Chain A
């Protein structure tokens, strides 16, 4: 390989010295690409150059010849750095691949779309600020028109949050067959989290059960950013009542339950703190601002509405999202049957 390289190099350089034509320089560029591909160290290229020059110009002054040894010595340092860089690039690629696997795994933890529920339109959007998200949501179908809905914020980002998320998901999967009340679900999760996470990690959550037979939403919260309920009758938003310690801080915590009754056109809006803590022109988004934005899009089907709201917030924050954002809308609509 190097004999070929030497011949090729010599040919190009000799031609260029003879007529200094541009196309030989282009040839040199192509050759350099090949050299990089073959991972030829820089000191070797310099050696080839020197050997060629010595062949072409045998009468070089001795000082110049000696200076070549000096140049090679200097280039060896570059060669070492080049090898290190190569090693790091490979390592980086391996890590990237691993993260990519983790990202895909994390995506499988989130449900693809909300299960259909008679007379209810649900939309949800969760966007990670970086590649891995600390926001989580889940739906648990209890059957007989009853759907468990969870939205959760895992404090901390990246891989620790993702690992924690899988713990939450698998704990919740156990609730599938035993329709627990919201406070029982939170108590159960609290025990799991309290036992298993690092002391400075915690999780906030809203868990509610929507009963589509009577359109009651019974919920409990664990330190989660209060959601909103929109009442079509007065066109106003009301804060969801919240009282309950975040998951993972203490044992044996009680989570009080609340019930909201939804009439036609009413909606529940849940979000993560990435939504309320986003900054618009250097200031935190005001709750009133958020209500106005939601109000503008609430007429849309729920999925389109959450997407439009997210897009609007993204524009308002000048496309810089510091935290993961999740928005969920649960709207009572006309029943089909």
Chain B
């Protein structure tokens, strides 16, 4: 139960956060600490989840918090590399229609 979070800021288009591991009730606070401060100046924030296999509802709450913060400052929040399980969660919660999702993983052709 660990999560690695890395930030790459030299991107001209915005900031990318790479997340690796499981985002759950134990690790979600780490993601919140990294992600929310970036969502304050209207820049596009990419969250790369290609190495995340599982997000629980607390983790989803962090993404929602970031989405709301970005919306308030006219910035964009974009999720990348979402796997089938996470996409199912986004679809059930209806978040796939409000949060931008790019480059879903290939394996999820039939979600």
Where the two chains meet, the residues of A that have a C-beta atom closer than 8 Å to any C-beta of B are 153, 155-157, 198-202, 204, 222-226, 242-246, 249-250, 253, 273, 277
Contact = CB atoms under 8 A, between A and B. Distances in A.
Interface in B56-111: 56-58, 60-62, 64-65, 67-69, 92-95, 97-98
20 contacts: A153-B57, A155-B57, A155-B58, A156-B58, A199-B68, A200-B32, A200-B64, A202-B60, A202-B64, A223-B94, A223-B95, A225-B92, A226-B92, A245-B94, A245-B97, A245-B98, A249-B68, A250-B98, A253-B94, A277-B56
Nearest to B63: A200
Contacts of A222: 94
A199 B65 contact: yes
Contacts of B98: 245, 249-250
Chain B contact-residue range equals: 10 to 19
Nearest to A273: B57
B54 to A, nearest CB: 9
B20 to A, nearest CB: 20
A155 B65 contact: no
B93 A200 contact: no
A308 B92 CA distance: 27
B95 A246 contact: yes
Contacts of B57: 153, 155, 273
Contacts of B95: 223, 245-246, 249
A273 B92 CA distance: 11
Contacts of A223: 92-95
Given A155-B58, A156-B58, A277-B56, A244 B64 contact: no
A204 B93 contact: yes
A244 B61 CA distance: 17
Nearest to B65: A200
B79 to A, nearest CB: 15
Contacts of A243: 94
A68 to B, nearest CB: 51
Q: Which 7 residue pairs of A and B lie closest in terms of their CB atoms, listed nearest first?
A: A200-B65, A245-B94, A223-B93, A200-B61, A199-B65, A155-B57, A199-B68
B61 A202 contact: yes
Nearest to A153: B57
A199 B97 contact: no
A153 B57 CA distance: 10
A246 B93 CA distance: 5
A203 to B, nearest CB: 10
Interface string B1-40: 0000000000000000000000001000000100000000
